[in-house]
Amino acid sequence: MTATQDVQSIAPSWAAALAPALATTEARRLGGWLKGEEAAGKRIYPPAGARLRALELTPLDAVRVVILGQDPYHGAGQAHGLAFSVPEGVRVPPSLVNIYKELARDCGVQAPGHGNLEHWARQGVLLLNNALTVEEGQAGSHQNRGWEAITDAAVAAVAAKPEPCVFLLWGNHARKKAMRVPGLAEGHHLVLTAPHPSPLSAHSGFFGCAHFSKANAFLARHGRGTIDW
């Protein structure tokens, strides 16, 4: 199945917004390239069927918050299609541990004992990575292979929504990706930036950023409810 068919089959609400991106040369080549990598014996994460999980769980018309990641986790059993998230039963990665620490400090929400963020996604939190696949043990290995055309278009589609949304941009990579969207910072959405929550940078300003409470305050102010973090 090609990337184009995959998007249209599992996330119809995204189909129209992503159609131009899916028509690009890079996107058309993506499906064939992934099949070739797998045929060569390379292990690709997440597995087929989970790669567009963020778009499946969070339809375009339901998006209230966007959190951008860079790559899926590249260890066995970790990636399941949502940025920063892992399935229940998998050890919580360090960056997510720090996200939970800030959430506890900011909102008093205690870590749930697992790293599955599907409950965020189902409330309208788009947990989108820049590239939606990765080779086992090779961080960044699927960058610039065609996913960016699709994920950039998804970010632009949210930015074009008339309803105010919140963009949480953690780290330079997320900030640069979002700022490729014309006028996003000057629009009616709330754009919050902070260092990445990884252990290497969390103490440089991620801790104390209060993004979760700020996001909810903005959503409530605009009549869009709040996220049950």
Report the catalytic residues.
71
Residue appearing with tokens 């339901």: 62
Q: Each residue of 143-166: b (16+ CB within 10 Å) or e?
A: eebbbbbbbbbbbbbbbebeebbb
Distance between CA 91 and CA 86 in Å, rounded? 8
Name, in order, each residue with C-beta under 8 angstroms of 156's C-beta and a sequence gap of 6 or more. Answer: 181
Pairing relation of β-strands 65-69 and 125-129? parallel
CA-based nearest residue to 161, from 86, 65, 49, 77: 65
Distance between CA 200 and CA 226 in Å, rounded? 30
Distance between CA 114 and CA 143 in Å, rounded? 28
Q: What does the longest C-alpha to C-alpha distance in the chain come to? A: 52
The answer to whether 85 and 192 are in contact (CB under 8 A) is no
Name 136's bridge partners.
none
